[in-house]
Structure 1
Amino acid sequence: MSETVYTPAEVEARLAAELPRWRFEDGWIRRTYRTSSWKGTLMVINTVGHLAEAAWHHPDLTASYAWVEVRLMNHHAKGITDKDFSLAKKIEEVVQWQPGKEDGGLEGTPQKDLRFAYVKYDDAE
Structure 2
Amino acid sequence: MTSQDLLNDHCQELGPGHRLDDAAMAPYLALLEGWRFENGSIRKTFTFGNYYQTLAFVNALAWVVHREDHHPDLLVQYNRCSVAFNTHSAGGITRNDFVCAAKADAVYAQGAAR
TM-score, normalised by the number of residues in structure 2: 0.79
Task: Spell out structure 1 runs of 4+ moving beyond 6 A.
Answer: none
Distance 2:22 2:39 in 1: 10
Question: Secondary structure at the residue paired with 2:42?
Answer: strand
Tell me the equivalent position of 2:64: 51
Segments of 5+ residues of structure 2 without an aligned counterpart are: 1-13
Tell me the equivalent position of 2:80: 67
Distance 1:47 1:9 in 2: 32
The number of equivalent residue pairs is 100
- Decide which of 26, 36, 49 is 1:23's aligned counterpart: 36
Q: Does 1:14 find its partner at 2:28?
A: yes
Which structure's CA Rg is the greater one? 1
Most deviating of 30-39 and 5-14: 5-14
Segments of 5+ residues of structure 1 without an aligned counterpart are: 99-107, 109-117, 120-125
**Structure number with higher helix proportion:** 2
Q: CA RMSD in A?
A: 1.7
TM-score, normalised by the number of residues in structure 1: 0.73
Letter in 2 for 1:5: R
- Which has the higher relative contact order, 1 or 2, with Cα contacts under 8 A spaced 6 or more apart? 2
Tell me the equivalent position of 2:108: 95
Q: Percent identity?
A: 32
